[in-house]
Structure 1
Amino acid sequence: MAASAIPIVDFQKYGLNVTDPKSVTSDVLETTAREIYDAFSTIGFLYLINHGIEQRKVDAMFSVSKSFFDQPVEEKRKCSRVPADHGENGWIAVESETLNPERKVGDLKEAFNFTPGHDGFWPEDPAQFESTFVSFHADCTRLAERVLDVMSIGLKLQDRYYLRECHNLMDKKGGATTLRSLYYPALSGSVKPGQVRCGEHSDYGTITLLFQDDIGGLEVMNTDGVYVPAQPIPGAILVNIGDLMQRWTADQLKATKHRVLIPEEEVKKRQSRQSMPFFVDPNYDTMIKCLDGSDKYEPISCEDYLNYRFSLTY
């Protein structure tokens, strides 16, 4: 694999098109597991194709999200997330987050978070906003479980369902997994020195499933330490490793930095951009201890680790 390449992995053998995943034996998934392991142990990113999430559902998420973000700030503020609890559902205003604290200025993006089992306020408009989020979170949960199964095979864990079980509250209270809709508004005014749309960072949890629109702009650090474009591929999901998974695997799998800068072309500055990350995190009470028994990192609960990372972001 070239240093600049983000590999494409075909998930046909275990995607949501497979109605009974337990009917698929581990040996059938060995090739897919090796491809995923190779990608995650080097560049830390891959494109997943033939995953089984219907494009019409992705389009519906982008549509209801755009309708929400197009509303006046006064309306969106009614759905603000409670800042005392970073897991709360709701809206996050532009410049509220600084994903690269060294930049000292908030990112030019806004978001809406949904974590099942948490409190929050849903917008009255647009119609079907809440039901679309709930349905899409459920689809992403089912796919994430299957990706975790194949990762368990690639990591040569004795139980192929080990990682799945550590995330069995993804759609329930006690789970930390969050569906986030991101909106990068068109830039009409001046940008503060050092400000970007999304600062350089690695994700915090296990894995992330990222759905992009066709605008582009995301850049990923390759194995040579150079940022390269992660161009949208129609129908593909961009999947990457988070810091907690790197810690869990004693650095076998790599959490890679990525960013979204201010476009240099004026025409792209005037374009808004959307993306939807599905942040897959273990249950809050899961103790993260090196899977290889090396104790390279001290054990820590998922909740304690995420709270630490959130404290640096807000």
Structure 2
Amino acid sequence: MGSARTSHGTLDVPVIDLSGYRRGEPAAARALAAAVDDAARTVGFMQVVGHGIPAGTEAGLTAALDTFFALPMATKLASRPASTAVNRGYSPPRSERLSHSLGVYSPADLFEAFNVGIEAGEYPGLGLPASYYADNIWPAGAAGFRAGVERWFAAARQLAETLTGVFALALGLPAGYFDAFQSHSLDVLRMNNYLVPGDVTLEEGQVGMGAHTDYGIVTILWADPVPGLQILDRAGRWHDVLPAPGALLVNLGDLLARWTNDRWVSTMHRVVPPRDAGGRLVRRRSAAYFHDGDVDAVIACLPGCATPDNPARYEPVTVADHLTAKLTGSRGLVLNAAATHEAARLRPTD
């Protein structure tokens, strides 16, 4: 893995334009593949423009976020799943600890969230486990919420599949290589709300969302242009990241890092309590679309990503086993003992 670049103390998150690739232009595709490979080797985050998601679809998402999170707490709690093992519905503030997915203790995270995902019924005949492909929980009293969320979900899903096509090109793999691993991809959209009341006393080390790497293949993030999101460089320094106008933030997950034998990096990130220029706590919204691959897919080192001098660093793992260990940490609050490689990044290197 290379080193991420900084400019005037700010981490350089490259802007990646998909327009030419989406139009089928060969030269644009080659340039895009090179740019993606460079970003994936260094920072693991990209600012994606030319993604083709209409402004109206984004407006529908933000309206849905505002509608749901403005509901009374008692109404929101009615959409909480019966078990934390069900990655659907509402998660209230202080109910999760994302750093536990790394096996690292932290105080409870301050964000609240609402999750929707792919249901087993979308793929009749496959016998997909309901524990992973659970039915969605749609809240009462949130007019327009489902329609706005479903439109965004469909658009983000299409973009995720486009990006895996770019990844295959960037890695020198045959076109459509990843299709066999995402025919019934276990995708989840997590909508987050960060709003800390002014009279709350924060515990030492308490943040909006604890340090973590994303678990799956690729994440597509819509976020307010408000400070809060930070990513970690190889020297153990945190850097603020704001989305560029019209851009979506895209970052790589653990499964893609494992696939590439760490040629590409799954970047550590967190969300600190968002503040304005005067230091006052402010609201921040985001929506993360996690494209995680088929639950029964086996993730093993990709062709060309291991050599005699750099042998495969990871044992093959199924998507199900990897996600279970991670989610049992963040949602079940059981420290994950299988993430020592990722957790080591929290310690500065020489």
Normalised by the length of structure 1, the TM-score is: 0.89
Show the counterpart of 2:15.
Answer: 8
Runs of 4+ in 1 over 6 A off after TM superposition: none
Length, aligned pairs only:
300
Q: Which residue of 1 aligns with 2:260?
A: 249
Which residue matches 2:327? 310
Specify whether residues 285 and 292 from structure 1 end up closer, same or farther in structure 2 by C-alpha distance, changes over 3 A only. Answer: same
In structure 2, what residue type is equivalent to 1:286? A
Q: Residue 186 of structure 1: SS of its match in structure 2?
A: coil
Q: Which moved more, 1:260-269 or 1:181-190?
A: 260-269
1:301 lines up with 2:318 in the alignment: yes
Matched with 1:21 is none
Distance in structure 1 (CA, Å) of the matches to 2:315 and 2:280: 44
Using the alignment, how far apart are the partners of 1:25 and 1:81 within structure 2?
46
How far, CA to CA, are the matches of 1:46 and 1:275 in structure 2?
16
| Secondary structure of 1:244 counterpart | helix
Match of 2:230 among 204, 219, 234: 219
Q: Retained in 2: the 8 A contact 1:211–1:277?
A: yes
1:265 Cα deviation (Å)? Answer: 5.5
Equivalent in 103, 112, 125 of residue 110 of structure 1: 112
Q: Please state whether the residue corresponding to 1:14 is helix, strand or coil.
A: helix
Q: Which amino acid aligns with 1:307?
A: T
CA distance in 2, matches of 1:28, 1:184: 38
Cα shift at 1:72: 1.1
User: Does residue 1:136 correspond to 2:136, yes or no?
Assistant: no
* 1:179 partnered with 2:189: yes
What SS does the corresponding residue of 1:100 show, helix, strand or coil?
Answer: helix
Change in CA separation of 1:266 and 1:73 when aligned onto 2, cut-off 3 Å: farther
> Bigger shift: 127-136 or 30-39?
127-136
Letter of the aligned partner of 1:234 in structure 2?
P
Say whether the 8 Å CA contact 2:115–2:189 is kept in structure 1: yes
Distance 2:202 2:313 in 1: 42
State the TM-score, normalized to the length of structure 2: 0.81
* Structure 1: distance between partners of 2:84 and 2:206: 25
Partner Cα separation in structure 2 for residue 264 and residue 234 of structure 1: 20
Percent identity among equivalent residues? 30
* 1:164 and 2:176 matched: no
**2:90 is matched with which residue?**
91
Partner residue, 2:167:
151
Aligned equivalents of 2:136, 2:82: Cα separation in 1: 8
Aligned to 1:172: none
Inter-partner Cα distance in structure 1 for 2:28 and 2:205: 49
Matched to 2:110, the amino acid is L
Tell me, yes or no, if the aligned pair for 1:79 and 1:91 is still in contact at 8 Å: yes
Query: Which residue of structure 1 lines up, in the alignment, with residue 303 of structure 2?
Result: 292
Which letter does structure 2 place at the counterpart of 1:246?
Answer: A
Moved more, 223-232 or 198-207: 223-232
Give me the CA root mean square deviation.
1.9
Matched letter for residue 157 of structure 2:
T
